[in-house]
Amino acid sequence: MAKQDVLITEVALRDGSHAIRHQYTVDQVLQIAKALDEANVPYIEVTHGDGLAGSSLQYGLSKTDEMALIEAAVSVCQNAKIAVLLLPGIGTVEELKQAANIGAKMARIATHVTEADVSRQHISIAKELGMETVGFLMMAHMAPARKLVEQAKLMESYGADTVYVVDSAGALLPHQVKERIKALKENIQVNIGFHGHNNLSLAMANTLAAIEEGATRIDGSVRCLGAGAGNTQTEVLVSVLDRLGIETGIDIYKMMDLAEDIVAPILPKPQEITKDSLVLGYAGVYSSFLLHAQKAAKQFEVDSRDILIELGKRKVVGGQEDMIVDVAAEIAKKQSAPV
């Protein structure tokens, strides 16, 4: 692996929101953001788990208005830039402008891997607002490399400074990550990023594979705090990259202390690969579906794995959370039908 600089975006205050049912408080965000800034983490993402305006009955209601959380993070960061995620169709230009006004410096515009065309307006306006812009191609396992290149080129043409391969389901294998990153590296001129999930215990392997092929923008989540089985664990990633001679600029001891002393007590339970999160990766299902599927399984007295497998067969993607209850109800009906 060639020596190169890697810039890490910490996503525990966004992706990690899924794991704690979007219950972050201002005090928690203040503590975590301040510690991340002191550890010299360059970017910290803060929003509802499903991005700006994600707080809803469908996606999960936030305990605290996300603008208050963004403002809190901005207030304690001397060096780190606050990033926000926006999914067109959930968040709007108005929320993006509001976030920029209170100090967010990076906009990460996320679409399904085949729907980059819906990001044009948001990427363009983020550029006009003076924000660093990132195109986020989610569920990247659902499209071949050539399709990924086509979609990445669209985001690049709209003004994205970086385009990410996003393994939302934690379903990609290392050779598939390499193929996709290599294809982007050969076909686009902007920075390339990678966002992994650990549902198949491959987040670290996939992240290293991405870096080997030229990805320089990498997402991590302290204490693995993220949807499903979590993301590439930041404090571990920083340590591994240091062993490889790859510079991140992040203080390893401070990241370890933050993980142990501040983030660990917030977790409802340790982030681990459970049977349900394993099925997410196995079936190729959006990681944030985990808690929704478990809730529906309890409601209809069915196996949550059956729900997730069926969702995978139907190729359900983010934004179709309402299908989870429908599938659970169908499974319950079949199981109760007379033979």
In 178-320, DSSP assigns E strands to 191-195, 217-220
The DSSP code sequence of 118-184 is GGHHHHHHHHHTT-EEEEEEESGGGS-HHHHHHHHHHHHHHT-SEEEEE-TTS---HHHHHHHHHHH
Reply yes or no on domain 7-266 having CATH 3.20.20.70.
Answer: yes
Query: Is 217 within any annotated ligand binding site?
Result: no
Query: Is 253 within any annotated ligand binding site?
Result: no
Which residues are catalytically annotated?
18
Q: What is the CATH number of domain 275-336?
A: 1.10.8.60
Query: Is 195 within any annotated ligand binding site?
Result: yes
Intervals of CATH 3.20.20.70 along the chain: 7-266
Intervals of CATH 1.10.8.60 along the chain: 275-336
The reported pLDDT for the residue numbered 339 is 63
Span 32-85, pLDDT tens digits? 999 999 999 999 999 999 999 999 888 889 999 999 999 999 999 999 999 999
Query: Is 5 within any annotated ligand binding site?
Result: no
pLDDT at 2 over 60: no
Span 98-123, pLDDT tens digits? 999 999 999 999 999 999 999 999 99
Span 121-171, pLDDT tens digits? 999 999 999 999 999 999 999 999 999 999 999 999 999 999 999 999 999
